Amino acid sequence: MRPPVYARHGVVATSQPLAAQAGLAILREGGSAVDAALAAAITLTVVQPGSNDIGGDLFAQVWDGQLLYGLNGSGRTPGNLSLEAFQSATEADRERGWLPVTVPGAPRAWADLHEHFGRVPFERLFTDAIRYAEEGFPVSPVVAASWARATASDKPECREWTEIFGQRPRAGEIYRNPAKGRALRIIAGSHGQEFYAGEIAHAMTSFASSTGGLLTMADLEAHQSEWVQPISANYRGFTVHELPPNGQGVAALQALALLDGLPEHGLHEQIEAMKLAFADAHAYVADAPMPGLLDPSYVEQRRKLIGPSAALPSPGDPVRGGTVYLAAADSDGGMVSLIQSNYMGFGSYVVVPGYGFGLQNRGADLSLNADHPNAAGPGKRPFHTIIPGFLSRDGVPIGPFGVMGGHMQPQGHLQLVLATVDEGLDPQAALARKRWFWDRDLRVLAEEGLPIEDLVSRGHDVTVRHEPSVFGMGQAIWRDASGVYVAGSEPRADGLAAAW
């Protein structure tokens, strides 16, 4: 197992080494943690395109040395989307092509984060990403393996994907995407404005109009990021911070709150708490105010449902009863927890001709049920899987953390916090710890080496899986009392923690 990384002046931890080094270069030039995180995030759209892209969304938590800020950089569904159109579409059409495309939030979020917390020129943040796009970079092993599994679509709007991404480069092979470099130059020079109201916006909407898409200039021009107040829950004297819905961070918080009330717990209780939290999250998390899922009296009621055997919980009634991840830190104590994604691998497979980037398919998570708060419709931010976490104790920040990977994310947050708080592990050791993943019903996936005998005896349907990607990929940075950073980077991925 690799050791943790210690740093005095700053650190950037990402799932891809070139992105981490891009962020570290910014720190060395006097940039803030936000500057470094943005440089890494922008570079990740080039060097890890299956997991995130310019056409995706972003969420972040930022500790500026005094306060913790939250940014919801997710986009909305097109104004012309109807529930009826979503209900009448096939499952394949709801996952790929134009129908699940929502307004990309990442470029606006980059600009907004920089405006509030940046120190170096916005254009500088794009330097490494543009160079890798135009001159090429060697594809890293885990990225290459994921890329090889991508399946092309024959939809008219997806044919550009084959031209740009269809060669599926092997590990170590040089890949170039000069069209994406062009797009990044335009975004950098306009601070994102050309993406939402200029050249790139016109290219996206013109392509949509000619190939059956719903995205319009009005949809793009109306998009704004939203500054939000993080929500939190306590666990064994520590406070875990997540962002409020439309993200699923509340699921991690509710599971931790459920476990905090138990004198002791093992894998069984952890899985049962996660099931209860998911039942509520999938019923109530949407682009709407969150009901009292963290209210102590409601949590106490739900905790009573954790029994000795595996169960299939239903959502509770909180109204009546009361989704690539990176972390960065700088020499001034500023810290950033940032996650961005195009959702399913390569998102919608819609690639904008001439600009080399793909669009997300977040609409795939919309509900077909008209009565569900996450029902498909116009101008809605869908339920989001991507969540950035942050840990503190007694009001003192400890640091950013996150585990990417769809519905593994709150489960990864839970297990990382438990390894940190209960076992006292450093970030690298906590990330390397064997993980489990509740899949559905009574099915639990486990990494080889976890003690699963007790789970099986309690009725869990446990399958040992050997694919690292099943169990998520995370990063974490903690700051100790002396101001020294200790960081870890996911051993199941290609990345590293680059320190100064």
Q: With respect to residue 388, please indicate whether it lies within any of the assigned structural domains.
A: yes
Q: What is the pLDDT of residue 181?
A: 98
Q: With respect to residue 255, please indicate whether it lies within any of the assigned structural domains.
A: no
Q: What is the pLDDT of residue 317?
A: 67
Q: With respect to residue 107, please indicate whether it lies within any of the assigned structural domains.
A: yes
Q: What is the pLDDT of residue 10?
A: 97
Q: With respect to residue 285, please indicate whether it lies within any of the assigned structural domains.
A: no
Q: With respect to residue 259, please indicate whether it lies within any of the assigned structural domains.
A: no
The residue segments making up the domain with residue 103 are 1-248+323-434+473-500
pTM: 0.96
Q: With respect to residue 262, please indicate whether it lies within any of the assigned structural domains.
A: no
- CATH code for position 487: 3.60.20.40
DSSP 235: E
Location of structure tokens 């129908």: 99
DSSP string covering 431-467: HHS--EEEEETTEEEEETTS--HHHHHTT-EEEEE--
Count how many domains the chain has.
1
Residues in the chain, total: 500
Q: Cα separations (Å) of 257 from 99, 138, 234, 310, 442? A: 37, 44, 6, 19, 22
Q: Are 82 and 377 in contact (CB under 8 A)?
A: yes
pLDDT truncated to tens, each residue of the chain (500 aa)? 789 999 999 999 999 999 999 999 999 999 999 999 999 999 999 999 999 999 999 999 999 999 999 999 999 999 999 999 999 999 999 999 999 999 999 999 999 999 999 999 999 999 999 999 999 999 999 999 999 999 888 899 999 999 999 999 999 999 999 999 999 999 999 999 999 999 999 999 999 999 999 999 999 999 999 999 999 999 999 999 999 999 999 999 999 999 999 999 999 999 999 999 999 999 999 998 888 999 999 999 999 999 999 999 988 766 443 349 999 999 999 999 999 999 999 999 999 999 999 999 999 999 999 999 999 999 999 999 999 999 999 999 999 999 998 899 999 999 999 999 999 999 999 999 999 999 999 999 999 999 999 999 999 999 999 988 899 999 999 999 999 999 999 999 999 999 99
Q: With respect to residue 304, please indicate whether it lies within any of the assigned structural domains.
A: no
Strand positions, DSSP E, 294-422: 325-329, 335-341, 389-393, 396-404
